[in-house]
C-alpha cells in the first residue's frame, strides 16, 4: 500500500506558564508569523497530483494552530482537502505504530501529520533510515510503503523513501518584527489615551505635553523602521502625525514661556495673567482643531496604520534579524555623534535637526532594548546632556521669537517691561551658550 506522508513539527511555541499544562501551550506570535510567511515557499516541492489531502494534528494547541496555518497554505496552492483537520492522539502520544495503523486504515493517499519531536525525527528514521534534524516548523515528505493489515510475513516491513526535507523558519527573525509592531502599537494606544485625556481636561498642561511627546516618539519609531516598512504607508502616517504635531507647536511654546514667567519671582501679576490668557486661548483653538471631523478622521487613520504595519515583502517573507536592526541603530548614533562634534548653536536649523535626531535615537533605544541590547540604552542616554543644552538653546530662541511678536501689540506697560526683561534674559543666556563654543 503506497501513501505520501508529510511529517511536520509544530511552529515555535510559548514556554509553559505557571500551572499551565504542556498541551495548552500556544504558538508565539513570531512562530505564527514565520509559518504564515514561509509555508507557501516550503510547500513548493509538494506534488499532490490528483490526490486529495488530509491534515492530521496532535491535540496540543500549538500543533492545532500549526495545522490551521498549514491548511491555509495548502488551500492557497489549490490543494484539495478531504475534510477539516483531524486530531490524532497518536501524534500527541508519539505512537509511531498507532499512527501507521491509522494511516493504513485511511482512504487518503496524501496525509500531513503535524506533531512534535522526537516523534517527527523518529518516524523518518524508522521508515526511511534518515535523520533530518527538525527545527520548529520543519517538514519531511515520505513516500511510504505500508504492509497490508493481513500480511503475515515478518520479513516485510513498513518502509519509506525520504522525498524531500525543508527546515523550519527561524522564528527569531520574526520576533524582531513582532516586537517592533507591539512597541508601535502600545505607543499609538498611549497617543489615543492622551488625546482623550486632553479632551476631558484641556487645562491640564501635562496631558497635551505627553500627547505631543508620544507622537514624537511614534514618529521616531516610524523613521527608524522606514527601510523595512511599506514606503507609502510610512510616508502617509508620518505626514499625518507631522501635521498634528505642528498644530501643537505653538501651544508647547506658550506653555514653556508661561512656565518660565512663573519661575521668575520678579514677574508682575499682569505678565502672568497675560501668559495664562495666551496659553488658554491657544489651548481652546487646539481643542477645536483636534476635535474637528477632518483631523479626527486623519488621526484615526494614522493610528490604524500604526497598529497594522505593512512590512515590505522581503521582510514579511524572510523576517528581520536583530543584527540588521542593531546596525541601523549604530549608524544612526554615529551620524548624530558626528554632527554633534561639529555643531554650532549659532546654526539654528542644524541645532533643531540634530536635537531631533538625538531624541529619536534615545526613544528607539529605550523602547527596544531587547532587540538592540542593554548597551544601546546607555549609548543613547549618553546624548541626553547634549540634548538638554540644545533644548535650552531652542527654547530661548522660541521665547525671543514669541516676545518679539507680543511686543508688536498694544499691551499694558507692566507687561511690556516684563517682556522686554525676559527677552534680555533669554538673549543673555543664548549669547553665553554661543560664547562657550568659541
Q: What pLDDT is recorded for position 342?
A: 79
For 234, the 3-state DSSP assignment is helix
CA distance 287 to 277: 15
Which CATH number describes the domain made up of 2-169?
3.40.50.1240
Distance CA 33, CA 39 (A): 10
Within the chain, which residues score under 50 in pLDDT? none
Please measure the distance between the N-terminal and C-terminal CA atoms of the chain and give it in whole angstroms: 89
Rounded Cα distance between 107 and 86, Å, is: 14
- Residue-level pLDDT at 148: 78
Q: Which three cell numbers stand for residue 374?
A: 542593554
Please give the Cα distance from 426 to 394 (Å, whole number): 11
Task: Supply the pLDDT for residue 345.
Answer: 75
Nearest alpha carbon to residue 285 among 192, 408, 202, 193:
202
50-92 pLDDT, tens digit per residue, is 668 999 999 999 999 999 999 999 998 888 888 889 999 999 9
Q: What is the domain partition of the chain in residue ranges?
A: 2-169, 197-314, 321-438
Could you give the 3-state DSSP secondary structure of residue 81? strand
pLDDT the model gives residue 430: 84
**pTM reported for the whole predicted model:** 0.84
Joined together, the cell numbers standing for residue 139 give: 517538514
What pLDDT score does 7 carry?
97
Amino acid at each position: 500500500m503506497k501513501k505520501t506522508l508529510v511529517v511536520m513539527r509544530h511552529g515555535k511555541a510559548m514556554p509553559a506558564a505557571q500551572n499551565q499544562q504542556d498541551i495548552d501551550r500556544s504558538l508565539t506570535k513570531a512562530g505564527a508569523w514565520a509559518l504564515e510567511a514561509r509555508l507557501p515557499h516550503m510547500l513548493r516541492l509538494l506534488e499532490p497530483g490528483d490526490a486529495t489531502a488530509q491534515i492530521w494534528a496532535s491535540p496540543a494547541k500549538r500543533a492545532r494552530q500549526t495545522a490551521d496555518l498549514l491548511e491555509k497554505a495548502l488551500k492557497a496552492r489549490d490543494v484539495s482537502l478531504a475534510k477539516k483537520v483531524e486530531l490524532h492522539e497518536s501524534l500527541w502520544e508519539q505512537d509511531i505504530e498507532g499512527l501507521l495503523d491509522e494511516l493504513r486504515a485511511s482512504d487518503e493517499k496524501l496525509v500531513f501529520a503535524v506533531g512534535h519531536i522526537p516523534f517527527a525525527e523518529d518516524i523518518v528514521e524508522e521508515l526511511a533510515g534518515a535523520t533530518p534534524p527538525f527545527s520548529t516548523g520543519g517538514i519531511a515528505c515520505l513516500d511510504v510503503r505500508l504492509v497490508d493489515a493481513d500480511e503475515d510475513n515478518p520479513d516485510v516491513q513498513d518502509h519509506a523513501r525520504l522525498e524531500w526535507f525543508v527546515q523550519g523558519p527561524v522564528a527569531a527573525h520574526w520576533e524582531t518584527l513582532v516586537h517592533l509592531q507591539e512597541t508601535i502599537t502600545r505607543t499609538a494606544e498611549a497617543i489615543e489615551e492622551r488625546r482623550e485625556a486632553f479632551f476631558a481636561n484641556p487645562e491640564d498642561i501635562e496631558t497635551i505635553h505627553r500627547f505631543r511627546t508620544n507622537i514624537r516618539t511614534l514618529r521616531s519609531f516610524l523613521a527608524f523602521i522606514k527601510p523595512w516598512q511599506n514606503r507609502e504607508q510610512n510616508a502617509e502616517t508620518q505626514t499625518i502625525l507631522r501635521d498634528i504635531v505642528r498644530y501643537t507647536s505653538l501651544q508647547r511654546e506658550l506653555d514653556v514661556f508661561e512656565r518660565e514667567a512663573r519661575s521668575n519671582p520678579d514677574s508682575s501679576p499682569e505678565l502672568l495673567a497675560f501668559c495664562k490668557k495666551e496659553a488658554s486661548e491657544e489651548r481652546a483653538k487646539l481643542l477645536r482643531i483636534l476635535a474637528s471631523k477632518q483631523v479626527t478622521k486623519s488621526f484615526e487613520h494614522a493610528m490604524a496604520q500604526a497598529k497594522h504595519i505593512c512590512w515590505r515583502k522581503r521582510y514579511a517573507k524572510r523576517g528581520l534579524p536583530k543584527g540588521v536592526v542593531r546596525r541601523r541603530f549604530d549608524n544612526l548614533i554615529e551620524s548624530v555623534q558626528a554632527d554633534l562634534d561639529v555643531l554650532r548653536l549659532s546654526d539654528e536649523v542644524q541645532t533643531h535637526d540634530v536635537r531631533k535626531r538625538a531624541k529619536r535615537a534615545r526613544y528607539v533605544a529605550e523602547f527596544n532594548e531587547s532587540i538592540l541590547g542593554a548597551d544601546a540604552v546607555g549609548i543613547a542616554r549618553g546624548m541626553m546632556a547634549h540634548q538638554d543644552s540644545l533644548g535650552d538653546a531652542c527654547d530661548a530662541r522660541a521665547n525671543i521669537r514669541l516676545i518679539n511678536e507680543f511686543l508688536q501689540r498694544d499691551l499694558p506697560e507692566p507687561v511690556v517691561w516684563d517682556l522686554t526683561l525676559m527677552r534680555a534674559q533669554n538673549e543673555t543666556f543664548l549669547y553665553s551658550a554661543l560664547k562657550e563654543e568659541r
